[in-house]
Amino acid sequence: MIKLNPVHKHAHNHSHPKVKSKNLIISIVLNTVITVSQVIGGLISGSLSLLSDALHNFSDVLSLVVSYIATVLSRRKASTNKTFGYKRAEIIAAFVNSATLIVVALVLIKEAVERFIAPQEVTSDLVIWLSTLGIAANGISVLLLKRDADTNMNMKSAYLHLLTDMMASVAVLIGGLLMKFNQFYWVDPLLTLVIAFYLIYMGYDLLKQSTRVLMLFTPNSLQVDEIITTIKEIESVKNVHHVHIWQLNEDEVHLEAHIDFVADIKLSEFDVILELIEEQMFHTYGINHVNIQPEFGKCDSKQIIVQD
């Protein structure tokens, strides 16, 4: 049993470094220039891999715009009709962006298969120059977003779009060189397939993560039984039930539970216990929002998980 100590004040820090909107704007401009250039170049040269890279770049522009809007919305304050504010805007953006990665990949696979069936000669010089431009511009964008991508799911989704597109541009450049010097035109659709499967690989994991958050699933890093055992070690706690644990956004994990007490304790005594639970949940499990409903002798379901 854990003995209760006198209550002491604590302050949990829920803040996180602000995402730099300026970096997103710069990346949007760069990728818009790349997209327009590669569409024109792809149509002139007849390169499917260049057009596929342009399509991916266009999805980058859309994903960056979505990320920018989400970043701006997430900073708005909560209100009486939006009590959580727009804290989930960035998670929605991550979901949309990862889903578009997979959709774009499926379109590219279809186009590549058609090009394998009916190969076309490609003007390789234009492919080489425009893919080099894509590498440079996407490389700058990747560097701008890398720091924020480490701590923010929304920015990670935008970062992955840009990183995969930079790698796609590298592949297109290699293909352009092979077509120029060896006339290996089959390399064009082959590279398109490689790009497409890589997009699916990168997008699926992020799609799964963002879906778990949107569906209010318990974070993978937390074990409900272990958390309940920790709470039940506190003296005067009889039972923990009706438990909900979910992740609101990148920074907030919530715990909601009903607790049965062995005695009809005073409200001031409950405050001491609540303080202890908050400390344990924050420091041991990273849960920074705790909502406990105290009960004594109440006739309700004592199941740990109750379907509301």
Q: At 168, which CATH number?
A: 1.20.1510.10
Query: Which segment, 47-51, 120-124, 276-280, is predicted with the most confidence on average?
Result: 276-280
Nearest to 206 by CA among 93, 96, 98: 98
Maximum separation of any 2 CA atoms in the chain, in Å = 85
> What pTM, to 2 d.p., does this model score?
0.73
Q: In whole angstroms, what is the distance from residue 280 CA to residue 273 CA?
A: 11
DSSP 284: I
Structural domain contains residue 6 = no
233: left (phi over 0), alpha (psi -120 to 50) or beta: alpha
Res 254: pLDDT: 96
Among 214, 247, 276, the domain boundary falls at 214
CB 180 within 8 A of CB 124: yes
DSSP 263: S
Structural domain contains residue 85 = yes
Task: Report phi then psi at 282, rounded to 5.
Answer: -75, -50
User: pLDDT higher for 236 or 160?
Assistant: 236
Same domain, 26 and 45: yes
- pLDDT above 90 (res 162): no
Query: Which segment, 112-116, 171-175, 276-280, is predicted with the most confidence on average?
Result: 276-280
Q: How many CB atoms lie within 10 A of CB 138?
A: 28
Structural domain contains residue 65 = yes
Structural domain contains residue 219 = no
Among 147, 182, 214, the domain boundary falls at 214
Same domain, 156 and 237: no
Same domain, 201 and 252: no
Same domain, 199 and 273: no
Q: In whole angstroms, what is the distance from residue 233 CA to residue 211 CA?
A: 34
DSSP 82: B
Same domain, 96 and 207: yes
Q: Identify the weakest region by mean pLDDT among 17-26, 150-159, 199-208.
A: 17-26
Same domain, 209 and 230: no
Structural domain contains residue 250 = yes
Per the structure block, which two tokens stand in for 301? 């379901």
Same domain, 200 and 239: no
CATH number at residue 282: 3.30.70.1350
Same domain, 69 and 50: yes
Same domain, 201 and 177: yes
DSSP 218: P
Q: Is the C-alpha dihedral spanning 148, 154, 158, 163 positive or negative?
A: positive
Structural domain contains residue 301 = no
pLDDT tens for residues 47-64?
Answer: 776 777 777 778 778 878
Q: How many CB atoms lie within 10 A of CB 14?
A: 9
Structural domain contains residue 80 = yes
Same domain, 208 and 242: no
Res 266: pLDDT: 94
Among 161, 195, 214, the domain boundary falls at 214
Task: Report phi then psi at 223, rounded to 5.
Answer: -110, 115
Same domain, 168 and 27: yes
Domain enclosing residue 288, as ranges: 224-295
Q: In whole angstroms, what is the distance from residue 205 CA to residue 224 CA?
A: 23
Same domain, 194 and 239: no
Cβ-based neighbours of 64, under 8 Å, separated by 6 or more: 24, 27, 28, 31, 158, 161, 162
Cβ-based neighbours of 252, under 8 Å, separated by 6 or more: 14, 87, 288, 289
Taking residues 143-152, what's their average pLDDT?
83
Q: How many domains does the chain have?
A: 2
Q: In whole angstroms, what is the distance from residue 138 CA to residue 143 CA?
A: 9
Structural domain contains residue 265 = yes
Q: What is the mean pLDDT of the chain?
A: 84
User: pLDDT higher for 188 or 85?
Assistant: 85
Stretch (H or E) spanning 246: strand 237-247
